[in-house]
């Protein structure tokens, strides 16, 4: 099991629906290295390649190319409802990550990894 993720240029535009077994922040950094535009992670959740394929089919009417889809209210609503973390820009400082913490009054934290 890995993660289904959604990445978009910071200023808007096409949204990539992808799957990775890496930490999402690491995959996002890989994509950033090949993109001339700054990217941000809109959200992610636990999933598999079958779910990724289902999402590609579900949003085929918004398909642009590869795994990139035109932004739509339907797609952004889905991301908002299901994501496991708030959006963040790809350029996290150094070895920092964003993760979910299930503790009263503390839902999301950015922490430096060892």
Contact by Cβ (8 Å): 27, 45: no
Contact by Cβ (8 Å): 15, 72: no
When pLDDT is cut at 50, 70 and 90, the band that residue 90 belongs to is: low
Distance, CA of 106 to CA of 97 (rounded, Å): 16
Q: What is the dihedral of CA 105, 90, 62, 76, to 10 degrees?
A: 20
What's the whole-model pTM score? Answer: 0.77
Q: pLDDT tens-digit profile of 15-46?
A: 999 999 999 988 998 998 888 888 889 999 99
Q: pLDDT tens-digit profile of 59-72?
A: 999 999 999 999 99
**Per-residue tokens: 63:** 């398909």
When pLDDT is cut at 50, 70 and 90, the band that residue 98 belongs to is: very low
In this structure, how many other beta carbons lie within 10 angstroms of the beta carbon of residue 28? Answer: 26
């Amino acid at each position: 099991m890995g993660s289904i993720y959604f990445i978009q240029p910071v200023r808007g535009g096409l949204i990539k629906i992808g799957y990775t077994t890496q930490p999402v922040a690491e995959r996002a950094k890989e994509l950033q290295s090949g993109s001339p535009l700054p990217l941000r992670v809109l959200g992610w959740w636990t999933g598999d390649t079958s779910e990724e394929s289902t999402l590609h089919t579900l949003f085929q009417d918004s398909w642009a190319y590869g795994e990139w889809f035109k932004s739509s209210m339907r797609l952004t609503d889905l991301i908002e409802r299901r994501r496991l973390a708030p959006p963040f820009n790809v350029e996290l400082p150094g070895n920092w990550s964003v993760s979910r913490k299930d503790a009263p009054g503390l839902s999301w934290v950015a922490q430096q990894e060892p």
